[in-house]
Homo-oligomer: A and B are copies of this chain.
Amino acid sequence: MITLSSDFGTPYPAAMRGVLSQRTAARLVDVAHDFPRQDIRAAAFWLHETLPYFPSAVHLVVVDPGVGTDRNALAIRAGDHVLVGPDNGVLLPAARRLAATTSASEPTIGSGLDAYIIDDTQLDPPAVAGHQQATDPSGPSSPYTTFHGRDVFAPAAGNIHEFGLDRLDALAELAFLEPTSTVTPLTLPDATVADGRATGEVLVVDDFGNVITNVPGSFLADCERVRVNGEQVPVATTFGAVPVGEQLATVGSHGYVELDVNQGRGDETFGLAVGASVTLESA
């Protein structure tokens, strides 16, 4: 199985599906192609929340504001999963969680996680019908071409899948993978919880305006109300527990405290955007 995630919108992901289909009969499953554009942290959050529900797979991820620069292309092995994407940190939170099943301490590169730089000069480029000569500067191997998802990451993901999800400890046999011990770090920020008070921030706002914080859901255990940046709101397990248009604090399916409005937009009503500070106090 290969999952696909990107901020490409449409129809660009179709070319990746085509290239993958050239190389493998693996099931292709879309995670999302409408991640907030070029927002590494939001993509990292959603991957951290969704990929752990998949069985052993290759996860192709293209949220890549640095495309065209000299940032590396990476493959990271985490347990029986491999994540393929740009070296900008987007893969790491999910990779650490995918590896954690087989590790007591927090996995790091070299300890629980194996990282490889993808050398695209060692990778067969995609076959493409009716294309110009390989020497054409607009051809698929041109330095101008900016679609690494199609021309680098998809071929690498397809080849890794065909190499075998049951042979991931031998990945270094693939000529296009060079082991590396350093990658661009990314850690989603942790909230501080002490004395009935949690200090954190807004990680993402979802499609519906629900404000997802980094405060663990356990903070709300046994609370009936909570003060959010000073303002008192009810704690509920369902939107329907408050009238239409009213605020509530709940625990989202990701396990974090979420600030919502029943049939409304939490981001607007609470006045909170991505990165904003959030203080929660027992009330």
CB atoms of A52 and B217 under 8 A apart: no
Chain A contact-residue range equals 35 or more
CB atoms of B9 and A145 under 8 A apart: no
Kindly provide the distance from the CB of A258 to the nearest chain B CB, expressed in whole angstroms: 9
Distance, CA A49 to CA B27, complexed state (A): 23
Tallying the copies of this chain within the complex gives 3
- Given known contacts A147-B253, A253-B145, A263-B38, is B66 in contact with A240 (CB within 8 Å)? yes
Distance, CA A34 to CA B25, complexed state (A): 26
Distance, CA A23 to CA B268, complexed state (A): 39
A138 at the interface (CB under 8 A from B): yes
A185 at the interface (CB under 8 A from B): no
A277 at the interface (CB under 8 A from B): no
Q: Which one of A12-20, A195-203, A224-232 is at the B interface?
A: A12-20
- Chain B residues with CB under 8 A of A29: 14, 17-18, 21, 28
Task: Identify the 10 closest CB pairs spanning chains A and B, nearest first.
Answer: A68-B238, A147-B253, A100-B130, A138-B255, A18-B53, A138-B217, A144-B251, A11-B32, A97-B130, A52-B129
